[in-house]
Amino acid sequence: MGKQTVALKNPPSITAGACVVGKKEGDGPLKDSFDYIGEDSFFGMRTWEMAESEMQKTALREALRKAELTPSALNYIFAGDLLSQCIGSAFGMREMGIPFFGLYGACSTMAEGLALAAMTIDGGFADNAAAVTSSHFCSAERQFRFPLEYGGQRTPTSQWTVTGAGAAILSGMGVAPYVTHVTAGKLVDAGVKDANNMGAAMAPAAFDTLTAHFTDTGRAHDYYDLILTGDLGELGGDILLDLFAREGVDIKSRYNDCGRMIYPRDTADSNSGASGCGCSAAVLMGHVLRGMRAGKWNNVLFAATGALMSTTSSQQGESIPSICTAVSISNMR
């Protein structure tokens, strides 16, 4: 195996997954795959930030219920989110009483969490571990862009932050699917400075990690039934297809992006599609996990991407360092 990819000796099971989304997501094409759809943006809480934490908590509890495990059966939680100082995760997980590793991978967090949870189990450090993440349209807008009340206009390349959370429970023993490989990504900065065009900033990182994965494993792209990025959106996904096409590789028939799946396409609001840690987490833990269990796909390469800028770095004129972490998920061990 090449240095960026590790093959897990005893691939851990994704023994259960759960996802929670908001109303807009629950009205979309994947509505039947979500475990819980909120009636408003508050999930019973006072603030949008606490609503985001509540979604994480609900997702983890539902995943634990499905796995028939108590919180104390988890050795570790790996969690992160988009909010400054990752308060979505710290407040969401604070009552769980489970050893906690905080992550920051922006929208790549679900893959980062799955990677580290799988490695700690396969390394013999844990029997069970969880990967949890979330995003919330309202908390993200006011942090990264404008107060919602301002009614700011959106550019055509902008992506709509998903209100949603996902939780995965990984176990050394358990049913398919399994996490078989982890390809950790390098930081890639293509020089894109437009924080409203994250897809363009992140596509080169996705290309870099996917290329490393194919090289390291010796697998061609068509080994996979589904190569799933999250979340490059419409524009970023097209850039990724172009980058592969330049190398003479056509991944189009196997390719999709979580940011293209969760909302109806070509609606006015969603512009270039969806984004947010909760997007790929909810799509993977809902639609994709259900599809794998049903045998619709047997080999999925989940390559989640993150744009690692902040409002401060953008205001200072800096470009956007990006990352893509990939995990190979298979029904065969």
Chain contacts with its own copies (rule: CB under 8 A): 3-4, 6, 9, 46-47, 49-50, 72, 75-76, 80, 82-87, 90-91, 93-94, 96-106, 112, 115-116, 119-120, 122-125, 143, 182, 184-189, 306, 308-313, 316, 318, 321, 323, 325
Q: How far apart are CB 327 and its own copies at their closest, in Å? A: 13
Q: How far apart are CB 110 and its own copies at their closest, in Å? A: 13
* 186 vs 296, beta carbon nearer its own copies: 186
Counting every residue, how long is the chain? 333
* 256 vs 313, beta carbon nearer its own copies: 313
Determine the straight-line distance between the first and last CA of the chain, rounded to whole angstroms. Answer: 17
- Other C-beta atoms lying within 10 Å of the C-beta of residue 69: 18
* 126 vs 289, beta carbon nearer its own copies: 126
* 10 vs 267, beta carbon nearer its own copies: 10
Spatial separation of the C-alpha atoms in residues 231 and 202, rounded to whole Å = 9
* 16 vs 195, beta carbon nearer its own copies: 195
Q: How far apart are CB 289 and its own copies at their closest, in Å? A: 23
Alpha-carbon torsion (104, 329, 130, 60), positive or negative: positive
Alpha-carbon 184 to chain mean position = 14
Q: How far apart are CB 205 and its own copies at their closest, in Å? A: 10
CA distances from 254 to 43, 249, 296, 325 (A): 36, 12, 13, 18
Secondary structure of 16-80 in HEC code, one letter for each residue:
EEEEEECHHHHCCCCHHHCCEECCCCCCCCCCHHHHHHHHHHHHHHHHHHHHCCCHHHCCEEEEE
Q: How far apart are CB 225 and its own copies at their closest, in Å? A: 26
